Amino acid sequence: MKRRILYTPLVEVCCTALRMQATRARIEERHRSFKKAVDLDEARRKRDEHKVEIRKTKREETLMKKRREHPAVQATSRAGASVPGDMAAVHDPTAAAAAAAAGTALAAPPVGENLLSAPVSGEKAAGSLSENAVPVESMLDAPGESAEASSSLLTTRSRQEILASMPALRDTLYQAGASPEQLLRTVREFRRILSIERAPPIQEVIECQGTVEKLVEFLSYDQFPALQFEAAWALTNIASGNTEQTTVVVQAGAVPHFVRLLRAPNEDVCEQAAWALGNIAGDSVQYRDLVLAHGAMEPLLQLLQTQHKPGMLRNATWTLSNFCRGKPAPDMPLILAALPVLAQLAQSTDEEVLVDTCWALSYVSDDKTEHNAQIDALIRSGVVKRVIELLGHESTAIQQPALCTIGNIVTGTDEQTQVVLDCGALPYLLRLLSSSKRLIRKETCWTISNITAGTIEQIESVIQSGLIPPLISLLANSDFETRREAAWAISNATAGGTDAQIRMLVLHGCLKPMCDLLFANDSKLLIVVLEGIENILASGERERERLHQPANEYASLVEQVGGLERIEMLQNHVNEDIYFKSQHILRTYFDVEDEDEIQGLVPMAASEGDGFGFGIERNDALARSGFHFGTSSSSLMMTSSGMMTASTSVPGATHETAFGAETASPRTGQVSWRPSDDTNGDGDDATNGMPMGS
């Protein structure tokens, strides 16, 4: 009995052949241009959108903390104090008693200009070197107003009462002859309103006409740093809103003021200005470019190089990451200027600094320039080895952007990929394949797939580092997204590897999970899997001729795991590339005959998605499980787990001599470089890292 190839009527076949010729010409032209197998813009856009979502989430979380916490509350909380209420100001009786014993007043300063010109935290008063100098955090409450009273100011009033009070507050800002302390109290009240934990009334403050413009004006009051600080904080929270709300801040002329304040002598004012610019730049590429056009990069980098205050470093690093994010990327000179500072920040031990540094490096390494110039610059900065070390950090929040950075680098040239391997990345990737985070496992498979798209030596490094067994385990048992990335990794290895390397993949059991994916309802994946299977079959054919075997042992294994029947089913797939690929495999590697179309086969659904579909209508009368074709003296046998075992020794192909003894030249095949398709979510599995069943 012989297998059948299904044929459509002659006219349709001729038309289809013409379409195939045009399609293949188009594919060959794309292959000549670069070694990427999917549309780069589409795939990288998915990755960018996911990153934007992550960054927006992080930005919003951080801003919620800023809206929610008074600066002194942050310091008190870090010291272990219990602060009542989200908006509580400093009120620590123990600290007050200790201060009184030391002769230091924690009460608000006297009414007058000294309140507005008081040094902000970290800055001493002019002409004073006393360690007991009072920081601005203890001065933020109005003179004579207790901390408890101020903390309950908003919580005891309804939202309607707060909104009703805003016009009067606005009028105070414009009141002729208003004293400095009146202005400070009023701006502070707006800041508190904008710092409400849930649903801050950003739009209502904007609609209180003239308020934003007056807040921007106060940014120029250099003689009153406390007023600058409060105004900058309020504007930062307004800029944390949607694009329209951020636009109000931009159109009011705040950007040049914030850029100038990056050089302010007051540390807290500098920090708040950096935070505000991060919010504005993080809103869109257009606003990022606007901020950079006002010269924000240089003073921000100087700030990062000269300041060591943890809060300052965290906020400024996050802002720098937003300066680097987005497509198109910032101008190359700006990236080159930022890389040495990022390399320095990567040596930090602060987790928040490391997270944002790695995200910034991942944006820089996501390179679309000619000759991968950004990747080359990143390598020259010397930061690659440190990023690889961070793959082993205990925090997955650091592992993920570090992995994105390394994954982006190996999308470059073979030489750039080799730098990653020389820095010892493979052992870290091996550990990440068993990460508890689904997204990290998926990204690791994607990274490995771009390494196996490289040279024979690089494929050999992957094999020798022990990555193949866990990779095939994920290919067989993980979620669909991860299985797809693992399939790319295996298929790429079959395209560029030697026959001995392909044999090692088969011995580790890659054929069964690859054939199982032939039910996937994803045309791109089906083509990748079919190409991988064809590469394996071609290797088996070369082995058959070299060893004078009667049959292609890999073809027998494909049939044994059910792959032959599934390839036959794909002849009715609506995608013509899949149709012709499956027919080519059947003609070339299996004993087939031409017959009319068999009843019971129906076209597969045209829609695609992340799942599995079936293209055959089951019919017991057409069951083929009893058919066996050809004789085989194969040295391979299938185990119950899908692994291949050698039943007899084959000269020149034993496990011990498979590597190094192989002298056959590598086949010319299309290695498939492509960026990852990111998905939503944080990558957690309900199974906490245990593979899910297929």
Q: Which of 281, 282, 345, 274 is nearest to 312 (CA)?
A: 274
Residue 22 is predicted with a pLDDT of 52
Q: Which of 586, 589, 552, 580 is nearest to 566 (CA)?
A: 586
471 domain-assigned: no
Higher confidence at residue 542 or residue 81?
542
pLDDT tens sequence across 639-680: 545 555 544 433 333 333 333 333 333 333 344 444 455 544
Q: What is the pLDDT of residue 658?
A: 33
pLDDT at 637: 55
Exposed / middle / buried, residue 534 (Cβ in 10 Å: 0-12, 13-18, 19+) = buried
Please report the pLDDT score of residue 671 as a whole number: 43
Report pLDDT digits (tens) over 263-274.
999 999 999 999
Mean pLDDT of the chain: 74
Amino acid at 303: L
pLDDT higher than threshold 80 for residue 366: yes
**Between residues 92 and 376, the one the model is more confident about:** 376
pLDDT at 688 (0 to 100): 37
Top pLDDT among 617 and 585 is at 585
Residue 107 tokens, joined: 């009460």
- Torsion 577-599-588-655 (CA) sign: positive
Closest to 318 measured CA to CA, from 682, 70, 58: 58
Contacts of 336 (CB under 8 A, 6+ apart): 377
Domain that holds residue 242: 113-122+136-328
Please say if the pLDDT value at position 85 is more than 70: no
Mean pLDDT computed over 289-314: 94
State the pLDDT at residue 18: 55
Residue 421, in any domain of the structure: no
Q: Of the given ranges (99-108, 384-393, 592-601, 682-691), which has the lowest mean pLDDT?
A: 99-108
* pLDDT band (50, 70, 90) for residue 508: very high
Q: What angle do CA 273, 69, 350 make, to 5 degrees?
A: 70
Given a cut of 50, is residue 694 above it in pLDDT?
no
Do 59 and 279 touch, CB atoms closer than 8 A? Answer: yes
376-385, 489-498, 680-689, range with the lowest pLDDT: 680-689
> Domain for residue 610, yes or no?
no
pLDDT at 673: 47
Least confident window among 410-424, 534-548, 582-596 = 582-596
The reported pLDDT for the residue numbered 281 is 96
Query: Dihedral of CA 256/258/261/262: which sign?
Result: negative
Q: Which of 49-58, 221-230, 367-376, 382-391 has the lowest mean pLDDT?
A: 49-58
Tokens 């910032």 found at: 330
The fraction of the chain above a pLDDT of 70, given in percent, is: 63
Please say whether the dihedral angle defined by the alpha carbons of residues 381, 384, 389 and 394, taken in this order, is positive or negative: positive
Which has the minimum average pLDDT: 138-147, 310-319, 457-466? 138-147
**Contact at 8 Å (CB) between 123 and 266?**
yes
**What's the pLDDT at 158?**
81
Which CATH number does the domain housing residue 294 bear? 1.25.10.10
Average pLDDT over residues 123-148: 34
pLDDT at 620: 40
Q: Is the pLDDT of residue 127 over 50?
A: no
What does the pLDDT read at residue 19?
Answer: 52
pLDDT at 144: 37
Predicted pLDDT of residue 179: 87
Q: Check if the beta carbon of residue 628 is closer than 8 Å to that of residue 569.
A: no
What tokens appear for 581 in the block? Answer: 């690929």
In a domain, 542, yes or no: no
Structural domains in the chain (count): 1
User: Does residue 117 lie within any of the structural domains?
Assistant: yes
Determine the Cα–Cα distance for residues 517 and 477; give it in Å rounded to an integer: 11
Average pLDDT over residues 52-58: 38
CB 55 within 8 A of CB 359: yes
E strand or H helix at 637: strand 636-638
User: Residue 325: what pLDDT?
Assistant: 94
**Which phi and psi (to 5°) does residue 360 adopt?**
-60, -45
Mean pLDDT along residues 522-537: 96
In a domain, 249, yes or no: yes
Q: Is 4's pLDDT higher than 50? A: no
Span 387-404, mean pLDDT? 97
Q: Is 497 within the bounds of a domain?
A: no
Residue 116 tokens read as: 């507005």
Residue 191 lies in a domain: yes
User: Can you list the positions of beta strands (E) in 414-509?
Assistant: none
Helices (H) and strands (E) in the chain, counts: 34, 4
CA-CA distance, 382 to 491, in Å (whole number)? 32
Mean pLDDT, residues 71-80: 40
CB 392 within 8 A of CB 354: no
